[in-house]
Chain A
Amino acid sequence: MKRGVLSMLVAGLAVLALMMVPVAVAAKEIKAGFIYVSPVGDAGWSRAHDDGRRAIEALDGVETTFVESVSEGPDSERVLLNMARRGHNLIFATSFGFMDSVIKVAAQFPDVVFMHCSGYKLAENVGTYFGRMYQPRYLSGMVAGAMTESNILGYVAAFPIPEVIRGINAFTLGAQAVNPDVQVRVVWSSTWYDPALEKEAANSLLDVGADVIAMHQDSPGPQVAAQERGVYSIGYNTDMSAFAPDAHLTAPIWNWSVVYKDVVQQVKDGTWASESIWWGLDRELVGLAPFGPMVPQDIQEAVLAKKEEIRSGETDVFIGPVLDQQGEVRIPEGVRATDEEMLAMDWFVQGVVGATR
């Protein structure tokens, strides 16, 4: 009897040991799925995310898949469900409109980690991530402000949401820092990707005297307009100089691989916990594309010096005094805007011509 118990105990321990060995030796294999709102293409939002995907694909023990051109809504829920069912243990949803689908599907797959870009809803297995794009936007504004001759900068804006408004404000503050006389004119295209319309929107800004075009959409349409009309442009998302070699001054760009590598490592190690990531120049999640050859050396140096100051935390973009279009003080002297204030920004700074609607 006693021997029986002992042998059972030994057998039990052996089984336990066998079960534990593979866990201890091999790190968790990652199968990461990405869903994109637009086609990957050569430039733009989804391309920036796909560059990040390729960076983690190159890591050991990581396998990735992606689905592109997924519309925001019921379609995205189906795609997410499908990914979770097919054994992905880490899913990146890379557009704001996927938010509710992510929350819904994540509730059904508690063992799968979901990371949602640019959203604000968290859950036990849902984290969010985004970047402080306003920092390089400020830097690109400095370049534009220094290069303009007409003192009118054109901004082809997407939709009147805080993310876009924050970008316009940062760009404007940057431009004013080097050129107090500058004004920024805004045209809303109400699109994320319509090259023909966005190009026409840029043309309309050029017709009212703008000589540098900045943008927030994913298509190179505004770049093409600047190149054709022989003026300067600021890209977005990725280096867009290929579309406008004579116009492209620089571009605020994304470097998503920074987040993707970090999350993959955490999930591998089992240390991942739901959080809201909002990194900036400090973690190099955002950056500045290489300057075009037309940008003078002294301007480049001034911009890079400012970049270093922001990166180190010595200064930031939204530090008072900041006035709105009506001249009212929105951020008092010496005060830094909080993340909450920046995430809810729905007013334009002084110097912007246009409506926030």
Chain B
Amino acid sequence: MPIELIIPLLAAAVQSGTPILYATLGEMITEKSGVLNLGVEGMMMIGALSAFWISLATGNPWLGFLMGGVCAAMLAAMHGLVCLGFQGNQVVSGLALTIFGVGLANYLGTPLVGTQGIGFSKVSLPVLADIPVLGAILFHQDVLVYLSFALPVLIWAFFRYTRLGLHLRSVGENPVAAATAGLNVIGLRWLGVLLGGFLVGLGGAYLSLAYIHLWTNGLTAGRGWIAVALVIFAFWRPGRAVFGAYLFGGVMAFQLRLQAMGTDIPASILMMLPYALTILVLIASTMTGRGGEAPAALAVNMEPEE
């Protein structure tokens, strides 16, 4: 593949990986606190719709982006209520959240289908964009992509260097011990659920505000589930989430470009690539035993009296 094709391919990989990156990091924070939230797809849809709607109504895409996160966090609060308030089954509640979120977004969004929205366009960063190769790939993107560059570093530092980050991790590893040490387990897990939901919502908002300035039913098209898988793929580490998200985005962009170049490989085989890759990665991570790096108390509820 010639270099004139590889650079746009990698730039496209970064862009199509960005919504997945936001969502993966969000789910990672939630899981670190010991709560499994399988409602990512639903929260992304709500995030995408509210971001689109609010930016259209107010003319302010930044407000829309922020509110995409807030509305998704509100949906995540339902999961918190079920799992943290009533000790409900986290898997069931998460699945319900996806079905509810996707359905609600499709229902509320129907009048907006096909409406042209406003959002973010590509902005070249001065100086950085002039770096050969790398500049064209990383620094000729929209503002939300640049924001997503900072996010993994911030999250990594948060878990590693801050007291709150340590507390959040400890309630995900051993909530009983954390409670004994005087931590508010339920409160901290609420933080994990809401903060995670917020980031997932930003991922949805990226789709409707920057990736394509449109709303449509089923806009997220399974990207939320990819994010759930990528958390495992990344072994709950922000840095690897970046790699996973761009890899996935890259495979998607790659198969389209292979076709455009005129390959003889059937399109249906190429279309399977991203999904086959997800399965392979899940198998590989289980076989290498790295799955053991999951938060020890993931998806385990803690009774308040324990």
Contact = CB atoms under 8 A, between A and B. Distances in A.
Interface of A: 38-44, 47, 68-69, 154, 160, 185-190, 193-197, 199-201, 203-205, 207-208, 210, 219-221, 224, 228, 242-243, 353-355, 357
B305 interface: no
B211 interface: yes
Most chain-B Cβ atoms within 10 A of its Cβ — which of A196, A208, A354? Answer: A196
A357 B212 contact: no
A246 to B, nearest CB: 14
A207 B110 contact: no
B260 A224 contact: no
A355 B213 contact: no
B217 A224 contact: no
Contacts of B8: 203, 207
A80 B164 CA distance: 56
B7 to A, nearest CB: 9
Given A39-B110, A190-B267, A207-B8, A195 B253 contact: no
A208 B219 CA distance: 27
Contact of A196 (B110, B212, B262, B266): B212
Nearest to B223: A196
B114 A41 contact: yes
A354 B261 CA distance: 8
B212 A186 contact: no
B212 to A, nearest CB: 5
Given A69-B217, A208-B5, A355-B266, A224 B212 contact: yes
Contact of A44 (B114, B221, B261, B266): B114
A200 B259 contact: no
A204 B260 contact: yes
A287 B219 CA distance: 30
B257 interface: yes
Interface string B201-242: 000000100011110111101000000000000000000000
Contacts of B219: 195-196
A199 B212 CA distance: 8
Q: Which of B259, B265, B266 has the most CB of A within 10 A?
A: B259
B113 interface: yes
B114 A355 contact: no
Given A196-B219, A199-B212, A355-B267, A207 B114 contact: no
B216 A219 contact: yes
Nearest to A157: B267
B115 interface: yes
A47 B114 contact: yes
A220 B266 CA distance: 25
A221 B213 CA distance: 9
A207 B268 contact: no
B213 A224 contact: yes
A207 B212 contact: no
7 contacts: A68-B110, A187-B259, A193-B218, A194-B216, A195-B219, A208-B260, A355-B266
Contact of B267 (A68, A160, A220): A160
Q: Most chain-A CB neighbours within 10 Å: which of B4, B212, B261, B271? A: B212
Interface in B1-48: 4-5, 8-9, 12, 16
A196 B119 CA distance: 14
A221 B212 contact: yes
Nearest to A355: B264
Given A69-B217, A195-B216, A204 B256 contact: yes
A43 B216 CA distance: 12
Contacts of A160: 267
Given A69-B106, A207-B257, 9 more contacts: A39-B217, A185-B262, A187-B260, A188-B259, A199-B211, A204-B12, A220-B214, A224-B214, A355-B266
A357 B266 contact: yes
B266 A42 contact: no
Contact of B259 (A47, A186, A224): A186
A205 B9 CA distance: 11
B110 A185 contact: no
Nearest to B8: A207
Interface string B104-116: 0010001001111
A154 B267 contact: no
B260 A207 contact: yes
B193 interface: no
Contacts of A357: 266-268
A68 B212 CA distance: 23
Contact of B16 (A186, A200, A207): A200
B259 A242 contact: no
A353 B260 CA distance: 8
B221 A204 contact: no
Given A190-B267, A207-B9, A355-B266, A39 B216 contact: yes
Nearest to A68: B110
Residue among B8, B257, B265 with the highest chain A CB neighbour number at 10 A: B257
